[in-house]
Structure formats: structure tokens, C-alpha cells
A and B are shown apart, each in its own frame.
Chain A
Amino acid sequence: MYQLALSRMREFYREPEAVFWVFGFPIVLAFALGLAFRNTGPGKLQVGVVVGAGDSALAATLASPRLVATVLDTATARLRLKTGRVALLVVPGDPVVYRYDSTRTESGLARLEVDDVLQRARGRTDLVAVRDDRAVAPGSRYIDYLIPGLLGMNLLGSGIWGVGFSVVQARQRKLLKRYMATPMRRSHYLLSFILSRLVFLIVEVVALVGFGWLLFGVAVRGSFASLGGITLLGSFAFAGLGLLVASRAKTIEGVSGLMNLVMLPMWILSGTFFSYSRFPNAMIPFVKALPLTALNDALRAVMIDGAAITTLGIPIAIVVAWGAVSFVIALKIFRWR
């Protein structure tokens, strides 16, 4: 079995493309998304002042620490609002008109900010004394949210691809049949996948978590033991799922389709890039029952909230159940030749 696992690993690391997709790609993705969504504070809101009587005076009034106001002619102003380059248009006159899209969060903010600045400039006085106490909550950045999700997605992808492709390739090349002609135990063959996954798992987790920590300072707030335990269970569950996907397929094309069928819904639904709470309430229980959702939740609980593995009973049970059930079914229906 050691030899089987060893040759599995050799076949993998001698395939440079596979190495890139499993290790390199998630890191590139994390890097790109981390840059795009890095926290630079709320930033200044862009607002437009439409040409009219007193437009430049109004723009000067609005210029404040939170706002940038530009005077624009009517056509340009309309275009910029439509394309989202300004959050809000101010039309001078009496009354002053705020033109904006109320479904955009940014526009709502701009509406409040502009009104506040304008009213104060015209002499409104605050009735209650207030003081801002700004604090940065740890783990609240997008990259903090993203890294555990990418880790989960990576475990899903490498589990299903890694196992699925090797099994179907061995079957297609009649290698599976050749193994059946030896005294090799069938369970050893399947377990060798789990074993080699274990080794790759360590590399994957260290690479991605290490990358997040070095470049973006994404810390692991829970214990590394909890993180290790959860990734281990997740990886086994996905290896089981990979075996199930590959248990009958005879061709690489066939198994590719099945893999996408399994993985695509989870990529979208399981809260890798954005929170699944955005989906309608009726869908949430279904989404939560997916193994990747459960894994992502557990990973975030450990990395962001610092939870211990022992407090994550439900998501862990879901992950383990998926793994165990698919492994058992895979064993039952596996096509050995």
C-alpha cells in the first residue's frame, strides 16, 4: 500500500500542470482577489454636481474628508451615475435634488453624507453630542473571509480531481484489471488514495495558509490542531466523493462531466467567494447540507473566530457523513475492470 501511495504521488508531481492547478491556482486567485478587495478604509465617495446656478459653490461646500464632488454637465452626469462612477448626483436649486439608485449601498451612504455636510454648512446644529470610537475588528476583511473558502474549495477540487482522474485513467488503461490479477487487496488500492491525499493535504494547507499569512497577514486564530483536524476530515470526505464519482465511469470525458456536476453547485452555493446567506431563505438548509458549506463554515470558525474543533459538531458531522456514505457506496458499486 505504501508503494501504491508512493506511485500515486510520483505520478502526480511529475505532472506539472496538475501541480499548478492544485497548488498554484488557488494562490494566484487569493493574490488577485486579495489585491482587488484590500481594505483601504471606506475610501472617498464620488459625487457629481450637475451644472446649474451655484454649482461650483455647492461642490466646494461638499468637498470634505469623506466626499469628492465634481461639477458635470447633464449628459456626463447621467452616464457616470448609470455606470457607477459617481454614487450620487446633486442638482442645485430649491429644493436641492439628490438623484441616486437606492438599491446601491454606496449611494445610500453618499446620500447621508452629502445631506449631513450640506445641512451643517447651512447652519444646522447637532442636538446630541456624539463621539466616534473607531475600531478594526480582527478577521473582518474580505481576504480573511476568502482564504478559508479557497482552502475548502481547494480541498474539494484536489480531492475529486486527484482521485477521480487517476481511478478512471487506470480503468481506461486496463491498469485496474492488471492490479486485479495480482494478490493486491482492493481496500489497499482505495486506501492508497486516502494516504497520498494526506501528504498532499499538508502541502496544500501550508501553502495557502502560509501565503495568506505572509502576504495579507491572515492569521489562524484557532489552534493549528483544529485546523489540521478539519482539513483532514474534509480531505477524506472529498476523496470519498471523488471515488464515488469515479466508481463507474469508463472514460475521462464521462468522469469530467460528473465532476463538474458535483463541484459546480458547491462552488457557487457553498460560500467560497461570498456568503451563502445571500441566497433565499428556503435554499439555506439545502446549502448548509452540502459538504463544502459545512467545511467552509468550520474552517472560518477556526481561522476567524478561533473556535476549537470540539465546538463544531454539526458541520463536522455533515462532512464526515458525506465522506463515509460516499466511500461505502463507492466500494459497493466500484467497477474494477
Chain B
Amino acid sequence: MAVAGLDLTVGAGECFGLLGPNGAGKTTTIEILEGLTVPDSGEVEILGTPWRDGAAGRALRERLGIQLQETQLADKLQVGEVLALFRSFYRQSHTVDEVLALVELEEKRKARVVTLSGGQKQRLAVACALVSKPELLFLDEPTTGLDPQSRRQLWEIIRRFRADGGTVLLTTHYMEEAERLCDRVAIMDHGKVIALGTPRELIASLGAEHVIEFAVGDGTPADLTDGVRGLGGVTAVRPGVGGVGLSLTVIELHRALPALLALLQQRRLELSSLTTHHATLDDVFVALTGRQLRDT
């Protein structure tokens, strides 16, 4: 995994998202920012100071909260004990009860880590990051592999942290998560930033608000693409997911959809699937890379 030519600035109080498929270099980037990986070249400044060894580095770490992607906390310890341990590393920190309340794990205080569910473990990991009352919170794929309910609980924790004035930098490969949580996002692919802006700006850059995906029975005739491109309201035509069917970005769905159906009727083509949705960051990624986010 390599990362090259990254130039990012995250403002105080902002929630910034690094988005991209697995292997895009998100974790490498965030670990460089966290001072855990030393970059081959380039400069990193966190809260106005570069990473240094020794006392200066430790002073900086006092102000950060970090959740790593793969950390497995000690199974045999109780939730309260784990937090007491992490709390002991910091000069200034929440009490165990305070931080348990932040992540809504009060009733699990005496439970051993091994007995927690995936979502609870993840909330505990975030609690370990929050225990230091950080100014800046790093979250590396905080919701990967979680069920929708656990994911929403984590989003709520992040929102509350931001409401208290905290800054968040998170990585995710869920575009939906980035759209809901982040003020700005950088979309990464193959170690490079390929798009940067607010989710709204990025979606607007598609030049359309809606996406129509469809496929016809016996494969797409070669000349159909041109025919579809000529329809009113269609701004772009791409091959559909996995090369099946076509994917259109459109401005006015109410004009483009009847026109498309009329065209298919006239060509005597039979629809095998048809979906429409509001344009999302997923569509931005597809438009930029020609690949779907999840399967890559």
C-alpha cells in the first residue's frame, strides 16, 4: 500500500472523511497523520505542530483520540478496566463513568470484552479514543462490518462529539456514511486523492441529480448508447455495473424516464431491470473510476 502526492488541510471543528475502496491508502494516510507511520517524504502538521519524538510527541498525543482499524482489546478485561487503563495514560481525561455514558455502554461496565457484540466492541474502541477528552478524533473505518443499528449508534456518538466542538477525521468505504457525517470528503483511489469537496459539491459535479440504471433482455445493442444519449435531460451515459446494461445520469427525471421508455418501446427492446435513485457519492466514485466502490 502506497500513498503519493496527498495535500490535505482539515480545519478545526470540521468532520473530514477519507473515502475509498479497500487498499486505496486510507489507513496508511490516517496512520501517517496519527504519527504511527513515518512518511518517506512530506510534512504533517497536527494541531499546528509536526510529529516529534519524546516529550513533544507525547504532549501532542494528549490532545488526540485515536481508534485503529484492527485493534483487539484484551479479552479477559472488563470494559471498565480497559477504560481505566487507557485513562491512566492521559493527564486529563473523562472518568470511566463519563465516557461509558458517552458511548452508552453503562450497563456493560462489568462485562468482559470477550462477551461484547461487534458494535459494542467498536463503541468501546471509540470510548478508548474519547477518554482523553481529545480535540481531534481519528477514526479508521469505525463502522465497517457493523449492522445498521450499531452504525447509527456510532454516528450519533460522532455527532455528539462534534456538537461539543471536536474535530473528526475518519476513513470509510461507505459513501452513505460520508454523506451523512462529513462536512468535506476526499475520495481516494490507488493512493491518490481523486476528488475533494463537500459531499454536495461532489455530487453536483456529476452535473445531474438522478441516476437511471437499466438493462435489456438480450444484451445492450451497440447503437443503443447513442440513441439514449440523445434523449432530453440525459447528461452522461456509462456502461452499467459489471458491464451489464447502461447507467444514465439525468437532470430531469420526469422527462428523461418517459423518453427512455418510449425509445425502448420503439426499438422493441424488453426491459429486464430498471432502477432510479438520487445521485450519491457512490455515483461520483463510479463516474471517476468506472468501478463500483464495494466490489473493488
Contacts and interface: CB of A to CB of B under 8 A. Distances in A.
Given A3-B87, A175-B73, A182-B66, 8 more contacts: A4-B85, A7-B85, A10-B76, A11-B76, A177-B36, A177-B71, A181-B64, A183-B59
B71 A337 contact: no
Interface in B63-107: 64, 66, 68, 70-74, 76-77, 81-82, 84-91
A4 B88 CA distance: 8
A169 to B, nearest CB: 8
Contact of B68 (A1, A11, A15, A177): A177
B58 interface: yes
Nearest to A185: B58
A2 B61 CA distance: 20
B141 interface: no
Interface of B: 34-36, 58-59, 61-62, 64, 66, 68, 70-74, 76-77, 81-82, 84-91, 112, 128, 132
Nearest to B128: A178
A179 B112 CA distance: 20
10 contacts: A7-B81, A173-B71, A174-B71, A174-B72, A181-B66, A182-B90, A183-B62, A183-B90, A183-B91, A337-B36
A14 interface: yes
Contacts of A127: none
Chain A interface residue number, banded: 20 to 34
Contacts of A4: 85, 88
B34 A181 contact: yes
A173 B71 CA distance: 6
Nearest to A181: B66
Nearest to A14: B76
Interface string A164-200: 0000000001110111111111000000000000000
Contacts of B86: 182
Given A2-B88, A183-B89, A178 B68 contact: yes
A335 to B, nearest CB: 13
Nearest to B138: A181
Given A3-B85, A7-B77, A7-B85, A181 B36 contact: yes
